[in-house]
Amino acid sequence: MTRLTETARGVYVIAATPFTDSGEIDFDSCDRMVDFYLDAGATGLTVLGIMGEAPKLTTDESSTIVARILKRVNGRVPVVVGASAPGFAQMQDLTRRVMDAGAAGVMVAPPGSLRTDDQIVTYYTQVAEFLGDTPFVVQDFPLTTGVQMAVPALARIFNSLPTAVCLKHEDWPGLAKITALRKDGTLNRRISILCGNGGVFLPEEMERGADGAMTGFAYPEMMVSVVEHHAKGDMERARDLFDAYLPLARMEQQPGAGLAIRKYIMFRRGIIASPAQRKPGANLDALSRAEIDTLMARLDRRLKELA
Amino acid sequence: MTRLTETARGVYVIAATPFTDSGEIDFDSCDRMVDFYLDAGATGLTVLGIMGEAPKLTTDESSTIVARILKRVNGRVPVVVGASAPGFAQMQDLTRRVMDAGAAGVMVAPPGSLRTDDQIVTYYTQVAEFLGDTPFVVQDFPLTTGVQMAVPALARIFNSLPTAVCLKHEDWPGLAKITALRKDGTLNRRISILCGNGGVFLPEEMERGADGAMTGFAYPEMMVSVVEHHAKGDMERARDLFDAYLPLARMEQQPGAGLAIRKYIMFRRGIIASPAQRKPGANLDALSRAEIDTLMARLDRRLKELA
Amino acid sequence: MTRLTETARGVYVIAATPFTDSGEIDFDSCDRMVDFYLDAGATGLTVLGIMGEAPKLTTDESSTIVARILKRVNGRVPVVVGASAPGFAQMQDLTRRVMDAGAAGVMVAPPGSLRTDDQIVTYYTQVAEFLGDTPFVVQDFPLTTGVQMAVPALARIFNSLPTAVCLKHEDWPGLAKITALRKDGTLNRRISILCGNGGVFLPEEMERGADGAMTGFAYPEMMVSVVEHHAKGDMERARDLFDAYLPLARMEQQPGAGLAIRKYIMFRRGIIASPAQRKPGANLDALSRAEIDTLMARLDRRLKELA
Amino acid sequence: MTRLTETARGVYVIAATPFTDSGEIDFDSCDRMVDFYLDAGATGLTVLGIMGEAPKLTTDESSTIVARILKRVNGRVPVVVGASAPGFAQMQDLTRRVMDAGAAGVMVAPPGSLRTDDQIVTYYTQVAEFLGDTPFVVQDFPLTTGVQMAVPALARIFNSLPTAVCLKHEDWPGLAKITALRKDGTLNRRISILCGNGGVFLPEEMERGADGAMTGFAYPEMMVSVVEHHAKGDMERARDLFDAYLPLARMEQQPGAGLAIRKYIMFRRGIIASPAQRKPGANLDALSRAEIDTLMARLDRRLKELA
């Protein structure tokens, strides 16, 4: 079984949860989505992220969908499972189940009550104790969690907890943080840094030392291109492609509203059979759909110019 | 089966979760605690509250402890179960299980992201839809949830949702809110108002129209006395007793730290076999225990003076 | 004297505060900046915004700089002055001074403690009382203020307070809010809606009924172009230009860090003599400057392609 | 001129701002209040605190009232002035003015945007730079500021900034913090620790090493008694008196609402001529006044029993 390590790189797409129009899990769309992500060049998948529809699933549904995705992936890439929970007992439970089922590691966001450096370091120290030898991703996403993790706190976490192998970097502004973490002397070991924020800073993030992206943009091929062109040293081409997708990425990155846009684009692209969100999520109204249609048409034209 | 209704009154004690020193659920202490609460005059119990150790339980443990408490209560008083969850699917699941097991209703706190009146009203409207005919308590506790529910928002909730039968009033300051809710014309029906905040405003709350308390002070007999003397019109006696307990109530009401104090007092009183909190909770150090010992000794003396 | 009214439209640039390298106010740069904004097509200016360096000025310096800008503008466009203050007495004082000096109106952001609809409406009702007949802008910027103003609360404000003539719209996501405010029946009068967020949603905002922008992007000509092409019905051209600037706008819109980028671009463009921020602001390091240089060079190339 | 030092002890009363019923500053009441505080045994005064009505004063009024209080105190005790401001320029301005007028030092609360230890330490380092040789009080009041200052952050501040001579301790729960700060090895020097929270934990705070109180309870004689009896080693007497006042202290400590109660009690005691708060403050309604009247009558009786 593949385990997540500090060498993780490339694009870990955060998977959506496809539903039918009536709110049932759509497993066929789920399979198609997995294939689409992997065909697009994803080097990993992340499921049950805190920003998606995972909280709308019952515990049984969560297990079922993780199992289905793991089966479809079939070991081709590592799969990380979101395991943030109000308490350690539940986190431990979920982690055991998904690791037994073949997950590569879990991801843990800090509870919103954490403020001081010591509180944050203590929390992740306890996470590591409860998770045993399971590798985990530290999710640094202050806009949503309300928790600001300074570089000294992150350094204490990564320098003392060997199973903390990856940072999901989603601070905003966050470019200086990547530079600080990669600077000699900050960390005493390598970690993987995969960036979020819908990919809207990916060129700069790669140049500052990130290993790739872990986020959910409906066009993962853009992120794959940026990572690959960066590896080849062709940042101009990377930026040309990035810029073409940016008008859509900006829309999808809107907090809350972005998920409906992501699902609508995936629906329009034939990846999932319905753009529906399970209640209480709202679907896009006609005006919003028209906005996205306009931007998708402009993207097609611009990609042709760039071909 | 007893169902929670808008006539709920008296003292609904929020039950602690007794553990052994090694962190296992202590079912014998649990039984003893239930008996203690009922002997003290509790008119109801509330279990799995958001401020206690419920998040440290696995899903299976939660079900087991609810079943144990329901069995011990054996229909003598209604039992409300905390059902706050990150998503409606989990809330619905848990609610079905505990209502099938004999609970009287559930309690739901708002998620911390809610801000505007419309967001709050919409959230509870969805709660009511997902919970069907299960009666529920609206938990208004801004200090912990970060959500401020104004009287107009509460009025919209209670006036439109018949299954919202009770307000757990825990705003601070919150006395004016009770008066506003009880004023003619605010609500178009009766609801039960049970107050929290460790009981430290109970005399004033009763005089402004509350029906009692729903909170977890380690001396429920104080709250029972205040409610009963208020009913008899003897507020001077109610206040004499209240004042005697206030130095301890003030300590126990400290956010976070209060739970260790509560368990220590219950341990000292012989109600639970160990004051231990399950990890990651910290137990009281020697200095803190001595502080509580001093206050408990003073309470004993003062109660004798008042006898 | 021009007064701000509900017909305000176009681009109100939020002015930077130019300092010398040693932290003195640079009045020559200030004049040059005013000329630059007006030459670029600004239809108004806003000074002493909450996100800039206004709090680093003494009260005397604030008055001096407002006077200097008013003198240079010389009535060509209306000037709005930020008057947010911890208390009404100070807000009233500042308002009187700047209105006497020739300002067109003031802008008021809500204090971070406001939560419920009633609290927000009450606050602006008091603002209107204290400001007398001075027209004011309501600043709706939850990311920074922490205050979420729902459409019903805004409707109560604008429908009852005639001197509230303009909404600085900076909610995120916020497109649906514009549509809701412009919908028949929401407001009983016209108001001006000018959008913030660094202009990164300006095409969509104009199409949903905004009157323009009030924000501080270092290329105001982009915003002017979008507004003008929208007026002419040529949204494709508006979007072509918008897209060219978006990679830079995205950088400048980073909270906190964006101001240093703005000043650096304005310095590179020859508008201000130094990119320095007064202490405690940090200037851009070499790596960050190189990032912006790359994006500025790419913008130049793209604008030539589009010419 | 007396300067605040790390030896500050006793009770620094946070002064109210007396207004007439029509909202004018009432200087006679101001003088009477100063005399009352000093007669009650105050060892210092603090004016323009962030929780009071200071923000309702214009800059000129603030200066006038500080001057009046300094004149009336006439060097008998040190006077600390609240100098929290949105920016350092204003803080520096105000500090210079009040220090020239004879203040003993200033008090600075952290801006609500601070989160990480480094941000907090950096902020106070800048405060110290801007204030030069003016001694200052660090205000640690998370309930109101939203800023949590951990012991390691406070240790860095006090160990590196000689002009930071005093902590206004107002964390809640906060008893363990006093113990941690007084523990050998935490700080490399003595500092003064004066406690807030309306005095409701004063006995425990003194026993854990506090030097006294800095807060605004309308019965400063209670705080003076606790400090003095603690000094004499008679904690039982200290607690007897403390307990008598606690029912009122609990009411006055309610956030926001407490100030109206404080002014009402001071009015009832003949200290100030009117309980009025300047707009937009609300005065107590009849029901709330009756609640306080009841508690004042009970206090009188209890004090007689204890005499």
CA-based max dimension of chain D: 54
CA dihedral B180, B181, B187, B193 (to 10 degrees): -170
- Does position A59 have pLDDT exceeding 90, yes or no? no
- Does position C50 have pLDDT exceeding 90, yes or no? no
Q: What is the mean pLDDT of chain D?
A: 96
User: Looking at chain C, which runs of residues are DSSP E strands?
Assistant: 10-14, 44-47, 79-82, 105-108, 136-140, 164-169, 192-195, 212-215
Contact D255 B172 (CB under 8 A): yes
Alpha-carbon torsion (B54, A148, A160, A106), positive or negative: positive
> Which C-chain residues 213-252 have CB contacts (< 8 A) with chain D?
none
Nearest alpha-carbon partner for A61 in B84, B131, B89, B83: B89
What proportion of chain C, given as a percentage, has pLDDT over 70?
Answer: 100
- Does position B2 have pLDDT exceeding 90, yes or no? no
CA-based max dimension of chain C: 54
Q: What is the mean pLDDT of chain B?
A: 96
Nearest alpha-carbon partner for D12 in D266, D227, D265, D303: D227
- Which tokens is D76 given? 């008998």
User: Looking at chain B, which runs of residues are DSSP E strands?
Assistant: 10-14, 44-47, 79-82, 105-108, 136-140, 164-169, 192-195, 212-215
Q: Is C83 exposed, middle or buried (0-12, 13-18, 19+ CB in 10 A)?
A: buried
Contact A86 B89 (CB under 8 A): no
Contact C119 B150 (CB under 8 A): yes
Q: Which residues contact A291 (CB under 8 A, 6 or more apart)?
A: A251, C175, C204, C207
Tell me how far apart the terminal alpha carbons of chain A are, to the nearest angstrom: 39
Judging contacts by C-beta atoms under 8 Å, the chain A residues touching residue C242 are 247
Range A267-272 contact pairs with CB under 8 angstroms and sequence separation of 24 or more: A268/A292, A268/A293, A268/A296, A269/A218, A271/A29, A271/A32, A271/A33, A271/A36, A272/A16, A272/A18, A272/A26, A272/A29, A272/A32, A272/A33
> What b-and-e string marks burial along A80-108, b requiring 16 or more CB atoms within 10 Å of the CB?
bbbbbbebbbbbbbbbebbbebbbbbbbb
Amino acid, res. C293: D
Is residue B302 situated within a structural domain? no
> Could you give phi then psi for residue A128, rounded to 5 degrees?
-60, -40
Q: Residue C172: pLDDT band by 50, 70, 90 thresholds?
A: very high
Across C124-136, average pLDDT: 98
How close, in Å, is residue C186 to chain B by CA atoms? Answer: 15
What proportion of chain B, given as a percentage, has pLDDT over 70?
Answer: 100
- Residue B286 · residue B242 · CB < 8 Å: no
Contact A54 B112 (CB under 8 A): no
The pLDDT value recorded for residue A70 is 98
The pLDDT value recorded for residue B1 is 60
Across C121-126, average pLDDT: 98
Spatial distance between the Cα atoms of D298 and A145, rounded to a whole number of angstroms? 47
Is the minimum CB–CB distance between D255 and chain C shorter than 8 Å? no
What residue of D is the nearest CA neighbor of C55? D87
Residues C289-304 pLDDT 10s: 999 999 999 999 999 9
Is residue D284 situated within a structural domain? no
- Does position C1 have pLDDT exceeding 80, yes or no? no
Nearest alpha-carbon partner for C88 in C126, C136, C50, C135: C126
Spatial distance between the Cα atoms of B239 and A168, rounded to a whole number of angstroms? 55
Residues A27-41 pLDDT 10s: 999 999 999 999 999
Spatial distance between the Cα atoms of C192 and C210, rounded to a whole number of angstroms? 8
- Does position A180 have pLDDT exceeding 80, yes or no? yes
Q: Which residue's structure tokens are 């034939």? A: A270
Cis preceding-peptide flag for B280 (omega within 30 of 0): yes
Q: Residue C51: pLDDT band by 50, 70, 90 thresholds?
A: confident
Q: How far is CA D281 from the centre of its chain?
A: 20
Is residue A167 situated within a structural domain? yes
Across A172-187, average pLDDT: 98
β-pair type (B79-82, D44-47): unpaired
Is residue C135 situated within a structural domain? yes
For chain C, the residue count is: 307
B interface test, pick of A24, A91, A94, A113 with most B CB neighbours within 10 Å: A113
> Which C-chain residues 49-78 have CB contacts (< 8 A) with chain B?
none
Q: How far is CA A27 from the centre of its chain?
A: 21
- Does position A1 have pLDDT exceeding 70, yes or no? no
Is residue B261 situated within a structural domain? no
Spatial distance between the Cα atoms of A157 and A176, rounded to a whole number of angstroms? 19
Q: Residue B265: pLDDT band by 50, 70, 90 thresholds?
A: very high
The interface predicted TM-score of the complex, written ipTM, equals 0.97
Q: Which residues contact B216 (CB under 8 A, 6 or more apart)?
A: B13, B14, B15, B16, B49, B51, B52, B198, B262
Is residue C281 situated within a structural domain? no
- Does position D13 have pLDDT exceeding 70, yes or no? yes
> Could you give phi then psi for residue B153, rounded to 5 degrees?
-70, -45
Number of Cβ atoms within 10 Å of the Cβ of B224: 21
Q: How many domains are contained in chain B? A: 1
Spatial distance between the Cα atoms of C113 and C124, rounded to a whole number of angstroms? 14
- Does position D232 have pLDDT exceeding 90, yes or no? yes
Instruction: Give start and end residues of each alpha helix (H) in B161-232.
Output: 175-182, 202-207, 220-231
Which DSSP letter does residue A187 get? B
Residues A127-136 pLDDT 10s: 999 999 999 9
- Residue C117 · residue C228 · CB < 8 Å: no
- Give the chains touching B; criterion: ≥3 Cβ pairs < 8 Å: A, C, D
The pLDDT value recorded for residue A49 is 83
What proportion of chain C, given as a percentage, has pLDDT over 90?
Answer: 92
How close, in Å, is residue A165 to chain C by CA atoms? Answer: 27
The pLDDT value recorded for residue C168 is 98
Q: Which residues contact B307 (CB under 8 A, 6 or more apart)?
A: none
Query: What is the model's pTM?
Result: 0.97
Q: How far is CA D147 from the centre of its chain?
A: 18
Number of Cβ atoms within 10 Å of the Cβ of D304: 8
Residue D94's H or E segment, with its range, is: helix D88-100
- Residue B228 · residue B242 · CB < 8 Å: no
Q: Residue C52: pLDDT band by 50, 70, 90 thresholds?
A: confident
Residues D18-41 pLDDT 10s: 999 999 999 999 999 999 999 999
Residues D97-114 pLDDT 10s: 999 999 999 999 999 999
DSSP string of A244-298?
Answer: HHHHHHHHHTSTTTHHHHHHHHHHHTTSSS--PPPTTPPPP-HHHHHHHHHHHHH
Rg (CA), chain C: 19
- Which tokens is B156 given? 């919209």
Spatial distance between the Cα atoms of B215 and B51, rounded to a whole number of angstroms? 10
Q: Is C301 exposed, middle or buried (0-12, 13-18, 19+ CB in 10 A)?
A: exposed
CATH (domain of B27): 3.20.20.70
Is residue C286 situated within a structural domain? no
Is residue D239 situated within a structural domain? no
Cis preceding-peptide flag for C173 (omega within 30 of 0): yes
Judging contacts by C-beta atoms under 8 Å, the chain B residues touching residue D258 are 173
> Which B-chain residues 139-198 have CB contacts (< 8 A) with chain A?
none
Residue C214, annotated as binding a ligand: yes
Nearest alpha-carbon partner for A41 in A173, A212, A181: A212
Across B52-61, average pLDDT: 89
Residues B60-104 pLDDT 10s: 899 999 999 999 999 999 999 999 988 899 899 999 999 999 999
Q: Which residue's structure tokens are 């800090």? A: A110
- Residue C13 · residue C47 · CB < 8 Å: no
Higher-confidence residue: B257 or A263? A263
What residue of A is the nearest CA neighbor of D118? A150
Amino acid, res. D3: R
Q: How far is CA D213 from the centre of its chain?
A: 7
CB-nearest partner of A257 from C173, C200, C251: C173
Q: Which residues contact D110 (CB under 8 A, 6 or more apart)?
A: D120, D123, D124, D139, D145, D147, D149
Spatial distance between the Cα atoms of B138 and B142, rounded to a whole number of angstroms? 12
- Residue A9 · residue A42 · CB < 8 Å: no
- Which tokens is C79 given? 């000037």
- Which tokens is A307 given? 């071909």
- Does position D1 have pLDDT exceeding 80, yes or no? no
The domain containing residue D216 runs over which residues?
10-232
Residues A187-243 pLDDT 10s: 999 999 999 999 999 999 999 999 999 999 999 999 999 999 999 999 999 999 999
Spatial distance between the Cα atoms of C207 and C229, rounded to a whole number of angstroms? 11
Report angle CA B145, B150, B154 to the nearest 5 degrees. 90
- Give the chains touching C; criterion: ≥3 Cβ pairs < 8 Å: A, B, D
> Which B-chain residues 77-136 have CB contacts (< 8 A) with chain A?
85-90, 92-93, 112, 122, 126
Number of Cβ atoms within 10 Å of the Cβ of C28: 11
Spatial distance between the Cα atoms of B41 and B38, rounded to a whole number of angstroms? 5
Judging contacts by C-beta atoms under 8 Å, the chain D residues touching residue B254 are 172-173
